[in-house]
Chain A
Amino acid sequence: MNFKRPWYATVLMYTALTAFLLFLGFPLLWLLSASFKSSAELNSLAVNLLPAVWDFSNYGSALERQNLLPAAGNSLMVSLATMIITVLLSMPMAYALARLKGRLRAAGTIWILTSQVFPSILIIIPLFLVLRSIGLNDTLLGLILVYVTFTLPFTLWMLQGYVAAIPVELEEAGEMDGASRITILRTIILPLLAPGLVATAMFTFVSAWNEFFLALVLLQSPELYTLPIALRSFLGAEGQTQLGPLAAGAILATIPSLIIFTILQKKLTGGMLAGAVKG
């Protein structure tokens, strides 16, 4: 079976891909451009991607004001912790959900889906009161716990799909060779699950990194503010926006995400290859 793709299909495919990349990349390019424009240029009618005069002061303003660097540190700490805890918890739970049979599994699945129905605004006050009663309101640990709680149902749902895709026969083969359940999980399932774990980790990190509302409400002390709260401080009363510093701050805020993505993406590819060879 060796199909030769017609030339127009290739052209269409690449056109669609280019359009998609432009669609995704243009706002980022515009943001980058805005971060180097002066307030006067940003408020002019001129539409140009390259600034008429390169103005680097927005980066200075972004870093000096609104405690952007400490906020970035807080965000990094919260996002990494949320990512690690969520992945560690999701792994065994997703395996159980995918492999176990019976009513418990059905009940678990229904509960996961149900928990996704409630918008966070509905439960924010009870959540705040619970955290306060255990002394975790206005702490980063409290925020991490809340993020893990909110992210876990979706990551479980996502990861159990990856587990279900791994043939049970592989585990049975391991059992026939005398491997224990733990050994099977460690040496067969875990490597094959790596792409799923990496995808889960990426999703969790980005969710926590970008989350605004829960952090806004649960954190009271300015020294604990996360990056989205610090960035929103550039939006003022009466709709006044300090667009230049905001764009510069947003560009700086994407750097840690890009680094994490670069690191994890390598694992994602590696995991896929490992699965392909052993499967």
Chain B
Amino acid sequence: MKKIRGIGVVAFAGVAALALSGCQQGSASNGSDGDEGGAVTLQFQSLSDQPATQDAVKSIVDEWNGENEDVQVEIVQAGWDGTFDKLITQFTGGTAPDIIHYEASSIVSFASDGYLADLTDHIDDDLKADISEGIWDSVTQDGEIIAYPSTLQSYMVFANADLLEAAGVEMPSGDTMTWEELREIAQATTTGGNYGLGWGLGSPTATMMSLSLGFDGGYFEGEGTDASIEVGDAELAVPELIHEMTYTDESVEPTSLTQSGSEVLASFYGGKVAMTVQGSFQATNIANDAPEGLNWVALPPLEGSAGAIQAANPQTYSVNIDSEYVEESAEFLNFFTSGENLAQIAYADALIPSSDSARAEVETLAADNPAWTQVLASGDGLEGPPFLKVEKYTEWKDTIATPAFQQYLADQITREELATQLTDGWTDIAD
């Protein structure tokens, strides 16, 4: 009994102490504030997760803070996982930070709900001219620019040069590579239990939506709640090609279609697949993790009937419309996304910077990694896709498109059934 009484006393003492210490409130909950000296502090919620990127962001913010005593920026580090739910709560509860780091496809609904400031008149003219229309289009909603686009990824084909050479394949050397060339190389390098291509399509929708633009397959027309869907030959070209390569040519490793991109890399490193399609950011991971002696290269960007076009879904920096310091936040972002600064962030994250001047900087920084040349070249074909402006796109993607594409890639449904599922599913959601 003494023991139990003892535990009770310790428990009460513990609760009291914890309750007092637990009252400590964080500093990032109340938005920006002006201190007694008149300086304002902007809260900048950053999602950068790589240590090198975090260092780059901190260095840029430190430089700004050193030069701008009246407008100080405080980094509030957060993670990508669960960010959407966190932001919904922050906006609804009125505690969202001044500057919000996220991505174009995910901020559409926040813009529709009126949580993001219109930055059209705040963006530097030089910066506007430095970024392509296609990328600006990806962050424009109802005629308003709702974010600064920062870095992007494209889909690249990485190849084991030795396996291609052993199969007698000539390495593609043009500015772009056609799908037909990819198909031929995959067939030529499929030998004795090894496959020509490994493609992590466990979550296939983003890839399909992006690469279909190369065939003029936009899937959606219109914006917001008025958008309509069209699934025709152009939209089905990419899934059909992958399906044929897998089941007719048998040159795509079928298991890889159920895996993530990163999971397929092990097969690429082990020589089980001669090529793999990956996000461009994997160039750095491959450089770090590939076994010594693996002679790998990045092939030219894939070109469809409409060109080497892919979807631009950039990471973004937006400003909270309820911030008292929209203008100051935009001034900071003009500095933060300048060519030199954006290049540092893009290089650390192994992503393509949105501006031309930053791309030129990255070319210099990455001069010793030839894969970067192809990665940066793929940035030229990035355009704002129609789905970025469709309000219920995420719901359609998760509940309709992903399972439908998965079934088609697993050869469980036909091309026509895929088109019907995608179209009818959208009709159900839109109604």
| Chain A positions near chain B (C-beta within 8 angstroms) | 39-40, 43-45, 65, 77-78, 80-81, 84-85, 87-88, 121, 124-125, 128-129, 132, 135, 137-144, 186-187, 190-191, 194, 212-213, 216-224, 229, 232-241
Contacts and interface: CB of A to CB of B under 8 A. Distances in A.
A81 B269 contact: no
B279 interface: yes
For chain B, which range describes its interface: under 10, 10 to 19, 20 to 34, or 35 or more residues?
A: 35 or more
Contacts of B82: 212-213, 216-217, 232
Contacts of B288: 39-40
Decide if the interface of chain A is mainly helix, strand, loop or mixed.
Answer: helix
A217 B85 contact: yes
A186 B315 CA distance: 61
29 contacts: A39-B289, A40-B288, A43-B262, A43-B269, A45-B270, A77-B22, A84-B11, A88-B11, A121-B85, A125-B89, A129-B92, A137-B93, A139-B25, A139-B26, A140-B22, A141-B22, A191-B1, A213-B82, A213-B85, A217-B85, A217-B86, A218-B89, A220-B90, A222-B76, A224-B26, A235-B80, A236-B49, A236-B79, A240-B281
Contact of A237 (B89, B261, B315): B315
Interface of B: 1, 4, 11-12, 14-15, 18-19, 21-29, 47, 49-51, 76-82, 85-86, 88-90, 92-95, 103, 153, 260-262, 265-267, 269-270, 272, 279, 281, 285, 288-291, 315, 349
A229 B22 CA distance: 18
A229 to B, nearest CB: 7
A144 B23 CA distance: 10
A129 B93 contact: yes
B26 A235 contact: no
Contacts of B80: 235-237
A216 to B, nearest CB: 5
Given A128-B93, A220-B76, A81 B49 contact: no
A224 B21 CA distance: 11
| Cβ-closest 7 pairs across A and B | A221-B26, A141-B22, A236-B49, A138-B29, A45-B270, A140-B22, A81-B18
Given A81-B15, A237-B47, A125 B92 contact: yes
Contacts of B4: 190-191, 194
